[in-house]
Amino acid sequence: MSRRYREDLEYSDAELVQGCSEGKTLFQERLYKRYFSFAMSISIRYTSDEAGAMEIVNDSYMKVLGNLDDYDTSRSFKSWYGRIIVNTAIDSYRKNMKFTGSLQPDEIPGQEVSEPEIESELTVTDILSLLNQLPGNCKIVFNLYEIEGYTHEEIAEMTGVGASTSRSTLARAKKMLRHLYKINFNPVKRSHEAV
């Protein structure tokens, strides 16, 4: 184990936060590095590219440093930071409103006869590719509800839309994802192509 990695493990989150509060650059760097992968894993789900995700990571970390006085040390730093990342992603979406997917709601076939068979071999890249094709509002609501676990009431509060709008947006997002899955990963289509 490298000496630098050992040094990072010597500090608890509380100690790193305290050092950041005191303006110690080394502690700010270590806290950023410790949670970089975590922050990117959330941010990438709300953007269409890595550059946008990096912007969210950096903006959210600046918010962390600027709001350390609001952090309740009796709670998990990771969950507090996660909420800041999600809120930063929503703010970024509102500010830019250009994160629209290539598929529009009116391009989806009206009635679905059956659910597609789900291929268990989808990679993270495949899943992100499907999510990136959703319009921005559908992507935000899907992530908040299905992945982050927020209720429709919480989503309404966070995004400024009604809870019923959140519910219908989620239903539309799921319908779009089923359609996108059928076009991109249809196992029946693949088996016919292989013959």
Question: Of the residues 96, 124, 141, which one is the last residue of a structural domain?
Answer: 96
Domain containing residue 123: 105-194
Provide the pLDDT for residue 118.
53
Provide block-wise average pLDDT over 10 residues at a time, the chain (195 residues).
54 94 96 97 91 96 95 93 96 71 44 49 83 91 94 93 94 94 71 46
Same domain, 114 and 76: no
Same domain as 64, residue 128? no
Q: Can you give the CATH number for the domain in which 131 is found?
A: 1.10.10.10
7 and 33: one domain?
A: yes
Same domain, 12 and 82: yes
- Map tokens 């918010």 to a residue: 63
Q: Do 184 and 112 lie in a common domain?
A: yes
Task: State phi, psi for 101 to the nearest 5 degrees.
Answer: -80, 175
Of the candidates 123, 130, 144, 125, the one whose C-alpha atom is nearest the C-alpha of residue 50 is 125
The confidence score (pLDDT) of residue 93 equals: 87
Nearest 5°: the CA angle 92, 89, 171 is: 110
CB–CB of 71/45 below 8 Å? no
Residues 7 and 66 in one domain: yes
Q: Which of 96, 117, 136 is the last residue of a domain?
A: 96
Q: How many separate domains does the chain show? A: 2
Element (H, E) at 18: helix 13-21
Whether residues 61 and 118 fall in one domain: no
75 with 138, same domain: the answer is no
- Contact between 96 and 51 under an 8 Å Cβ cutoff? The reply is no
Residues 89 and 133 in one domain: no
- In terms of domains, do 83 and 15 share one? yes
CA distances to 2, 5, 70, 195 from 26, rounded to whole Å, are 17, 14, 21, 59
Same domain, 82 and 116: no
Note whether 133 and 81 are same-domain residues: no
pLDDT at residue 192, rounded to an integer = 46
